[in-house]
Chains A and B, each alone.
Chain A
Amino acid sequence: MKELNSVRFEFPSLSANEGFARGAVACFAAQLDMTLTELGDVKTAVSEAVTNCIVHAYPDSVGPILLRLRILEGGELEIQVKDKGRGIEDVERARQPLFTTGGDDRGGMGFTIMESFTDSMKVRSRVGAGTTVTMRKRVEKRRKAR
């Protein structure tokens, strides 16, 4: 699919950057005619993916997070969140609702939320090398001009 626009950010895995990532995606998505609900959905999905990098990919250190946003032909937003951290041993199992290695502080709902708030979610991971989550959100065509 043809790319119409794209931006990239790189930032360290500090929790203060979770809010930055949500703000960045909201700003970029303003080029698409998203509803408030759709905008809330993509902010939530980004928040989940970035938090996973901070909590799971780099549990005892600070490492780089790469956020790439693309607008694709036909009005689709692609969100890619990439880390060079610990990686996931069994991606199928990690995607299951309630699965967590995070103990009492986490609920194991992040991937479930990302999946239900976007149209597609791909997870590629290699232990010791890192994880890439790629999500796409289609903007529903409004029938009538508002």
Chain B
Amino acid sequence: MKLTATQESGRLTLALSGELDHHEAKNLIRELEERIDTGLPRDCVLDLEGLRFMDSSGVAILLKLHRRMNALGGRLFVQNVQSQPMRVLDASGIDRIIEISA
């Protein structure tokens, strides 16, 4: 699991690659929240182009980030979602809450 963060004015892009399961999620969520809390972005873009695998632990992380951004008055966008992670997001129905694009 690898995280690359880039901030341009009010937009924070967090790019994840590798496999996101409960094992990885434990540390990742802390790192992601830290990035948001220090960057205080208006928009947060989660780029999942390099993410090969995700399960429900990833869904919980997306929901957490969404709530965090809402609390800051900002928005979360999830983009470049690959096929296996997209199937998990579809099954969980969170595309009704979070803006997700393939």
A residues with CB within 8 A of B: 15-16, 18-19, 22, 36-37, 40-41, 43-44, 47-48, 51, 54-55, 97, 104-107, 109-110, 112-113, 116-117
In-complex Cβ contact of B92 among A15, A54, A105, A109 (8 A): A109
Measured CA separation A64–B88 after assembly (Å): 27
Between A and B, 7 residue pairs with Cβ closer than 8 Å are: A18-B22, A18-B23, A41-B87, A44-B87, A54-B22, A105-B29, A107-B59
Q: Are A109 and B91 in contact, with the CB atoms below 8 A?
A: yes
Q: Are A44 and B60 in contact, with the CB atoms below 8 A?
A: no
Residues of B within 8 A of A51 (CB): 21-22, 55-57
Q: Are A44 and B83 in contact, with the CB atoms below 8 A?
A: no
- The digit string for B75-100, where 1 denotes a CB below 8 A from any CB of A, is 00000000110011001110000000
In-complex Cβ contact of B22 among A15, A37, A109, A117 (8 A): A15
Total interface residues on B, using CB and 8 Å? Answer: 22
In-complex Cβ contact of B56 among A19, A36, A48, A54 (8 A): A48
- Closest Cβ of chain A to B56, distance in Å, is 5
Residues of A within 8 A of B93 (CB): 97
